[in-house]
């Protein structure tokens, strides 16, 4: 059974799927993402596959509303982005810039694929890392969901950005970038085209956002230099997080782009958000009672102090390629 169910209290769509409980959990003697596996074959640097346990599918069954509650067809696509043939790579910061560029080009190809698909309203490209996050397969990979609706968080961003534009005639995201670079208290790293920072309003103790300096809505708008610079800033940002506590940082990240339908050129600014879940070497920041009940986070610490810790790590790493750490 696979369907969408609407929450009338919050305006959210819940993706319901019985097939997801069949997902494989960290198989010990077989990796379906390694070269030579049934789905992968040989001779590839990166690979995009359909998710065998997808909550969304263009072959989804028709559904009918019954009574008060709304249902919808779970139409769309879920896919896996295999980032390297090497099984034992721990994180993207271990990949070369050239290999990371290939991964980013897959993000671009996936976005191009759905930009003109009338069935898809929003594309979320994301990555989960670490057993604490719930990653079921350890081979390095990201994912994407091509969705028939715009997620609530993105709708909130759009509404706030539209209100700000109407009042001030400026992009809200560009204003945030301006505010963050005014004092550089929370900015961490920059190159010609991108900047990474710990936001003023962070939810997670060491949350990092990566913004393009140019006002862009989609990753398909990147030129070749911007693709390489995006690989650079992502590699450095993840390396900082992995060096912070001298252990691999469990996290999720999300590539936040504009919806695929409509004109958002004035109000939306694409970016990437990284949500690391550790607040110390052996302490997880849990989204618990207050976060789950209100969606409003408590912050463990002071953002500016945590940003300073990330800045200090940045100065010690030796993989900087195209940019500079920000004092």
Q: What number is the average pLDDT over the span 167-173?
A: 98
Q: Which residue has the higher pLDDT, 5 or 24?
A: 5
Question: Does pTM top 0.85 for this prediction?
Answer: yes
Residue 326 confidence (pLDDT): 97
C-alpha–C-alpha distance, residues 53 and 245, integer Å: 34
Dist CA 226 CA 15 (whole Å):
34
**Dihedral sign for Cα atoms in the order 223, 193, 323, 278:** negative
- Is pLDDT at 28 greater than 80 in this prediction? no
**Mean pLDDT, to the nearest integer, of 116-125?**
97
Paired tokens of 62:
């028709």
271 is catalytic: no
- Greater pLDDT, 211 or 22: 211
Cα-trace Rg, the chain = 20
Q: What is the pLDDT of residues 281-304, one digit of tens each?
A: 999 999 999 999 999 999 989 999
Please tell me the distance from the alpha carbon of residue 162 to that of residue 7, in angstroms, as a whole number: 24
Q: Which of 136-140, 203-207, 238-242, 254-258 has the lowest mean pLDDT?
A: 136-140
Band (12; pLDDT cuts 50, 70, 90): very high
DSSP helix/strand/coil, 283: strand
Domain range for 189: 2-325
CA–CA dist 282, 155 (Å, integer): 35
Residue % of the chain over a pLDDT of 90: 92
Query: Could you read off the pLDDT of 77-114 as tens digits, one per residue?
Result: 999 999 999 999 999 999 999 999 999 999 999 999 99
Confidence check: pLDDT of 140 > 90 = yes
Going by C-alpha positions, the residue among 246, 257, 228, 227 that lies closest to residue 322 is: 228
Task: Tell me the three state secondary structure of residue 307.
Answer: helix
Do residues 114 and 10 lie in contact, with contact meaning Cβ atoms separated by under 8 Å? Answer: no
> Which regions of 23-100 does DSSP assign to beta strands (E)?
47-50, 71-72, 77-82
DSSP for 82-151 reads E--S-TT--SGGGS-HHHHHHHHHHHHHHHHHHHT-TT-SEEEEEEEESTTTT-S--SSEEEEEEESS--
Sequence-separated (6 or more) residues with CB below 8 Å from residue 210: 194, 195, 196, 230, 233, 234, 237, 271, 272, 273, 274
pLDDT for res 85: 98
Supply the pLDDT for residue 320: 85
Report yes or no: 251 and 129 within 8 Å, Cβ to Cβ. yes
Residue 268 scores a pLDDT above 70: yes
CA distances from 146 to 78, 111, 139, 231, 251 (A): 6, 9, 22, 23, 21
The contacts of residue 52 (CB under 8 Å, 6+ apart) are 39
CB atoms within 10 A of CB 131: 12
Q: Is the pLDDT of residue 21 over 80?
A: no
pLDDT of residue 20: 61
* CATH for 62: 3.30.428.10
Q: What is the pLDDT of residue 22?
A: 64
Of 100, 79, 80, residue with least CA distance to 89: 100
- From 87, 139, 141, 271, active-site residue: 141
State the pLDDT at residue 25.
Answer: 64
**In the chain, how many domains are there?**
1
- As a whole-number percent, the residues of the chain with pLDDT over 70 amount to 98
Model confidence over 230-265: pLDDT tens digits?
Answer: 999 999 999 999 999 999 999 999 999 999 999 999
pLDDT reported for residue 318: 86
Taking the C-alpha atoms of residue 308 and residue 327, their distance in angstroms, rounded to an integer, is 9
Confidence of residue 308 (pLDDT cuts 50, 70, 90): very high
Mean pLDDT of the chain: 95
């Amino acid at each position: 059974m696979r369907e969408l169910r609407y929450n009338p209290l919050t305006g959210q769509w819940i993706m319901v799927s019985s097939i997801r409980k069949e997902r494989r959990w960290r198989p010990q003697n077989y990796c379906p993402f390694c070269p030579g596996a049934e789905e992968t074959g040989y001779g590839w640097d990166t690979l995009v596959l359909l998710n065998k346990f997808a909550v969304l599918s263009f072959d989804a069954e028709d559904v009918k509303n019954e009574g008060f509650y709304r249902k919808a067809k779970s139409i769309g696509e879920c896919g896996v982005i295999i980032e390297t043939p090497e099984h034992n790579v721990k994180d993207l910061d271990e990949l070369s810039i050239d290999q990371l560029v290939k991964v980013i080009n897959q993000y671009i190809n996936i976005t191009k694929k759905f930009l003109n698909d009338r069935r898809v309203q929003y594309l979320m490209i994301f990555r989960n890392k670490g057993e604490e996050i719930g990653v079921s397969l350890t081979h390095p990979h990201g994912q994407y969901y091509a969705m028939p609706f715009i997620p609530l968080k993105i709708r909130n961003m759009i509404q706030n950005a539209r209100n700000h534009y109407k009042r001030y005639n400026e992009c809200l995201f560009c204003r945030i970038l301006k505010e963050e670079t005014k004092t550089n208290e929370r900015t961490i790293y920059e190159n010609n085209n991108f900047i990474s920072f710990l936001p003023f309003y962070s939810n997670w103790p060491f949350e990092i956002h990566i913004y393009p300096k140019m006002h862009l809505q989609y990753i398909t708008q990147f030129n070749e230099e911007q693709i390489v610079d995006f690989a650079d800033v992502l590699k450095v940002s993840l390396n900082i997080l992995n060096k912070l506590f001298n252990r691999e940082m469990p996290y999720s990240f999300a590539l936040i782009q504009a919806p695929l339908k409509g004109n958002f050129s004035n109000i939306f600014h694409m970016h990437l958000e990284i949500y690391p879940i550790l607040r110390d070497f052996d302490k997880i920041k849990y989204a618990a009672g207050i976060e789950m009940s209100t969606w409003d986070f408590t912050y463990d610490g002071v953002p500016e102090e945590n940003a300073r810790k990330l800045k200090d790590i940045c100065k010690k790493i030796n993989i900087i390629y195209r940019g500079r750490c920000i004092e």
